[in-house]
Amino acid sequence: MNDKLKTKSLFVSIVGRPNVGKSSILNMIVGSKVSIVSSKPQTTRDRITGIITQGDTQLVFIDTPGIHKPFSRLGNYMISEIDNSLSGIEACLHVVEALKEPSSLDLNLIEKFKKLNLKTILAINKIDLVKNKAFLMEQIKSFSSLFNYDAIVPISTLSNDGKNDLIAEMKALASPSVFFFSNEDFTDQSERRLASEIIREKLLWFLDEELPHGTAIQVESFKQLSNLKVSIHAVIYCERSSHKAMIIGAGGQMIKKVGIASRRSIEELLGCEVNLNLFVKVKKDWRNKPALLHELGYC
Ligand SMILES: Nc1nc2c(ncn2[C@@H]2O[C@H](COP(=O)(O)OP(=O)(O)OP(=O)(O)O)[C@@H](O)[C@H]2O)c(=O)[nH]1
Ligand SMILES: [Mg+2]
């Protein structure tokens, strides 16, 4: 029956250490911002789907949290999201940073690829930072000696270098199948969910190191007022009153900054005017309370 199919597809899980650029790669491939990006490790918390359809081939990507040692129930959930992303998957995109030696986390991943017999492509990201290409060749040799990757592609999401090669290599791994999404789909996330992630991204951008890791966003209402206007009410939950004060900032400066940047990004995404109202509330130790994690969408 498959012989008769004229279309092909491939489900690809994007895995690697935190901060190597997994979400940036997904956005580059899909050509739209479906997964938030920041310079802080552990930005991505759940599986995020991004889709591209080119000609007879559909590629479905699952961005995952970076692999790390969990210190909370939320951390355990993030790690389980990586394993869940690998079940029933056909292929993996293993992302590493240019000039970095394979770490123990990379070695653990390679063991998983072998065990699950997955087709795997290695993307060496951030090659814009490489001055001497000879080092890159050394890195390619080092990873090739560990695992027989289907392809190794040096890329930079900053300059878009290697984008077409990466897509071509993944298309080559696709097999006959129906399309699982329509040709125009680029993600399966709702607009509500995309908006809440954008707010979390701005908190990661503007707040100091650990604080944004203790925040979660709940969009309480998302109303289409007309074709040209949407009204959104969202709550930023944090773990302590002292954190609430920092998120609001002196004279409300910080929340205003987060609000303006979030509104602009959401307007770009939705292509219409947005009224964004943000509130800050405390939910003590929510990262360790199963009921609260569930309520905030981490389940
Ligand atoms: N110089 C350079 N920086 C990059 C490149 N790609 C991503 N970055 C930066 O790397 C940082 C991490 O990017 P993300 O895409 O959030 O990384 P991630 O692997 O998804 O991170 P987690 O979700 O935390 O696991 C951000 O500051 C990006 O701007 C690149 O090609 N070159
Ligand atoms: Mg990410």
Helix (H), strand (E) at residue 125 = strand 119-125
Question: What is the C-alpha radius of gyration for the chain, rounded to an integer number of angstroms?
Answer: 20
Provide mean pLDDT across the span 69-92: 90
Assess whether pLDDT exceeds 90 at residue 299. Answer: no
The CATH number for 285's domain is 3.30.300.20
pLDDT digits 0-9 by tens, 146-196: 999 999 999 999 999 999 999 999 999 999 999 999 999 999 999 999 999
| Distance, CA of 266 to CA of 194 (rounded, Å) | 8
Q: Which of 176, 202, 217 is the last residue of a domain?
A: 176
The pLDDT value recorded for residue 3 is 54
- Count of domains observed in the chain: 2
Considering the domain architecture, whether residues 40 and 93 belong to the same structural domain is answered as: yes
Using the predicted structure, report yes or no on whether residue 100 has a pLDDT greater than 60: yes
Torsion angle (degrees, nearest 10) of CA 158, 163, 165, 103: 60
Same domain membership, residue 165 and residue 81: yes
Q: Which atom of ligand 1 is nearest to the CA of 19?
A: 21
Mean pLDDT for all residues in the chain: 94
Residues 167 and 62 grouped into a single domain:
yes
Give the rounded percent of residues in the chain with a pLDDT score beyond 90: 89
Whether pLDDT at 69 is above 90: no
Residue 200 sits in the same domain as residue 172 = no
Q: What's the whole-number mean pLDDT along residues 228-254?
A: 96
pTM assigned to the model: 0.95
How far is the centre of ligand 1, averaged over its atoms, from the C-alpha of 126 (Å)?
Answer: 8
- Residues in contact with ligand 1 (CB, 6 Å cut-off): 18-24, 37-39, 41-44, 65-66, 125-126, 128-129, 156-158
Q: Which range marks the domain in which residue 216 is found?
A: 191-295
Q: Are strands 175-176 and 216-226 parallel, antiparallel or unpaired?
A: unpaired
Contact 106, 96 (CB under 8 A): yes
**Cβ–Cβ under 8 Å, residues 171 and 57:** yes
Report residue 97: phi and psi, to 5°. -90, 145
> Is residue 123 domain-shared with residue 212, that is, in the same domain?
no
100 and 245 in a single domain? The answer is: no
Q: Rounded mean pLDDT of 229-258?
A: 97
Question: Best substitution site from 37, 42, 163 to test ligand 1's pocket, by max atoms within 8 Å of Cβ?
Answer: 37
Co-location of 22 and 165 in the same domain: yes
In this structure, the residue with its CA closest to atom 4 of ligand 1 is 126
Whether 184 is in a domain gets the answer: no
Residue 123 CA: which ligand is closest? Answer: 1
Q: What is the CATH number of the domain that holds 133?
A: 3.40.50.300
The torsion region of residue 125 among left (phi > 0), alpha (psi -120 to 50) and beta comes to beta
Closest ligand 1 atom number to CA of residue 66: 25
Within this chain, do residues 52 and 154 fall inside the same structural domain, yes or no?
A: yes
Residue 250 Cα to ligand 2 midpoint, Å, equals 30
Residue 280 host element (H or E): strand 273-282
| Single-letter amino acid code for the residue at 108 | N
Indicate if 21 and 106 belong to the same structural domain: yes
Asked if residue 217 and residue 96 are part of one domain, the reply reads no
In a domain, 162, yes or no: yes
> What is the sign of the dihedral through the CA atoms of 290, 292, 298 and 299?
positive
| Chain position carrying tokens 């190191």 | 209
* Mean pLDDT in residue range 280-288: 95
